[in-house]
């Protein structure tokens, strides 16, 4: 992760056309400066390389407890400047037109990383309202995953990551305000974001996704932790609850779906398999 970030900065991919609107004059002085792209395809590849490195950096910095060194350069610019990966034939309906999914993923990862940079009460008070507004605005641009053509499992996998990331950003931001000593209230924004993240799994064919981002394992465990905490607030065991209360039963179903997803994807991904073991401990299953 750090090596990828260093390569991005050294080669100034964060300053190429399509990431930043204009190239700084001093960029010519870098001994690592790449030659001009041969064509538009190579230009798009460089832009996508930057987004891919930014996704990696912003997703894993919070997981590893690192302070991110890459800024959010280019994320506020229009989406048409990045390599376009979508067209109408890949969609059943209208959503995601003119949205580069790799850049969308980078935006979601950057937002998810933001709460970890509020490392004291003052920073939280000054930045939480603005970040919350950004999260809500971003969520309003997203459409259900079942709007994507089922043949594009690669695209579904990327957008699944986007949906889960942005809901987990709300969890990180709101959890300090919502958590109680004996559990998580079901009417809290933290719980609602966790339930929404789990429900996203219902929009995809879990078994058909041969690849998902490894960080989804960590994210879904954090979602499950909130859901399990909500059940414990009512004195219910997440592992064995047979409640007939509809709201509580929906939580049990959501936890089962998360377990199924991690079990399925863990067969091909060692990190996700390790996260499955953490999930089982949360659910008190031996």
The residue among 116, 226, 98, 95 whose CA lies nearest residue 163 is 95
Name the H helices within the chain. Answer: 2-10, 40-64, 101-113, 121-141, 153-178, 189-200, 215-233, 246-266, 270-282
Q: How confident is the model at residue 76 (pLDDT cuts 50, 70, 90)?
A: low
Work out how many domains the chain is built from and give that number: 1
Under 8 Å between Cβ of 118 and 175: no
Whether residue 20 lies inside any domain: the answer is no
The residue among 281, 112, 136, 143 whose CA lies nearest residue 213 is 112
> What gap in Å lies between CA 149 and CA 89, rounded to an integer?
8
Whether residue 6 lies inside any domain: the answer is no
Whether residue 116 lies inside any domain: the answer is no
Half-sphere exposure of 200 (CA within 13 A, CB side): 27
Domain that holds residue 241: 144-286
pTM of the model as a whole: 0.80
Question: What pLDDT sits at residue 80?
Answer: 31
Whether residue 66 lies inside any domain: the answer is no
Whether residue 277 lies inside any domain: the answer is yes
Judged by average pLDDT, the poorest of 13-17, 105-109, 117-121, 225-229 is 13-17
Question: What pLDDT sits at residue 240?
Answer: 55
Q: How confident is the model at residue 32 (pLDDT cuts 50, 70, 90)?
A: low
pLDDT at 158 over 50: yes
Question: What pLDDT sits at residue 186?
Answer: 92
Non-local (6+) Cβ contacts of 280 within 8 A are 259, 286
Question: What pLDDT sits at residue 241?
Answer: 55
Mean pLDDT for the stretch of residues 58-82: 64
Under 8 Å between Cβ of 91 and 40: no
pLDDT in tens, 163-216: 999 999 999 999 988 888 788 999 999 999 999 999 999 999 999 998 999 999
Q: Which residue has the higher pLDDT, 264 or 83?
A: 264
Question: What pLDDT sits at residue 73?
Answer: 54
Whether residue 44 lies inside any domain: the answer is no
Whether residue 32 lies inside any domain: the answer is no
Handedness of CA 22, 24, 29, 31 (dihedral sign): negative
pLDDT in tens, 91-127: 333 344 346 888 899 999 999 998 887 877 777 878 8
Tokens of 72: 């959010």
> What gap in Å lies between CA 13 and CA 6, rounded to an integer?
10
């Amino acid at each position: 992760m750090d090596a990828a970030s260093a390569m991005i900065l050294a080669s100034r991919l964060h300053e190429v056309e399509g990431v930043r609107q204009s190239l700084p004059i001093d960029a010519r002085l870098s001994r690592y400066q790449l030659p001009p792209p041969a064509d538009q395809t190579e230009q798009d590849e460089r832009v996508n390389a930057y987004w891919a490195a930014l996704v990696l950096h912003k997703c894993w910095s919070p997981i590893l407890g690192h302070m991110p060194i890459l800024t959010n350069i280019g994320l506020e610019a229009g989406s048409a400047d990045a390599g376009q990966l979508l067209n109408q034939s890949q969609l059943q309906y209208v959503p995601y037109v003119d949205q580069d999914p790799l850049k969308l993923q980078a935006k979601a990862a950057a937002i998810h990383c933001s709460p970890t940079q509020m490392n004291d009460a003052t920073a939280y008070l000054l930045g939480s309202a603005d970040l919350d507004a950004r999260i809500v605005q971003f969520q309003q641009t997203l459409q259900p995953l079942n709007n994507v053509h089922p043949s594009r499992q690669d695209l579904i996998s990327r957008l699944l990551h986007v949906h889960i990331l942005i809901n987990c950003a709300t969890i990180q931001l709101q959890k300090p305000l919502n958590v109680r000593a004996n559990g998580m209230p079901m009417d809290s924004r933290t719980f609602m974001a966790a339930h929404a993240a789990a429900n996203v799994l219902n929009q995809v064919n879990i078994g058909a996704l041969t690849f998902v981002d490894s960080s989804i394992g960590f994210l879904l465990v954090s979602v499950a932790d909130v859901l399990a905490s909500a059940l414990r607030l009512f004195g219910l065991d997440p592992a064995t609850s047979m409640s007939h209360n509809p709201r509580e039963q929906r939580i049990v179903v959501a936890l089962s779906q998360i377990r199924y997803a991690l079990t399925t994807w863990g067969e091909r991904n060692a990190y996700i398999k390790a996260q499955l073991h953490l999930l089982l401990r949360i659910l008190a299953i031996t």
